[in-house]
Amino acid sequence: MAEKTEVPGIYKVREGILINKDNDSLKSYKKRKHREMRFTEMDKELTEMKADIAEIKILLQQLVK
């Protein structure tokens, strides 16, 4: 049997383990983490593209000389 705690959606079972039954918060957390991960990936791709463009620029400058 789980007993309620002071925090809404959090219950404590006999073994002292806390259980979160707030599924809306969990969904929100997962969505936020997914967004952060996508942002990090896009930032990495942008950095790589900048490096590629700089390399192409150098190669074009050498070709013109």
CA–CA separation, 24 and 63 (whole Å): 58
Report the mean per-residue pLDDT for the chain. Answer: 92
Residues in the chain, total: 65
| pLDDT tens, position by position, 27-39 | 999 999 999 999 9
**22: confidence class by pLDDT, cuts 50, 70, 90:** confident
Cα–Cα dist 17/10, whole Å: 10
Number of domains into which the chain is organized: 1
Residues β-bridged to residue 11:
4, 19
Q: Please state the pTM of the whole predicted model.
A: 0.60
| Dist CA 12 CA 6 (whole Å) | 10
> Using 50, 70 and 90 to split pLDDT, how confident is the model at 41?
very high
What is the domain extent for residue 44?
A: 3-64
Region 11-18: mean pLDDT is 87
Residue pair 50/58 in contact (Cβ under 8 Å)? The answer is no
pLDDT at 1: 73
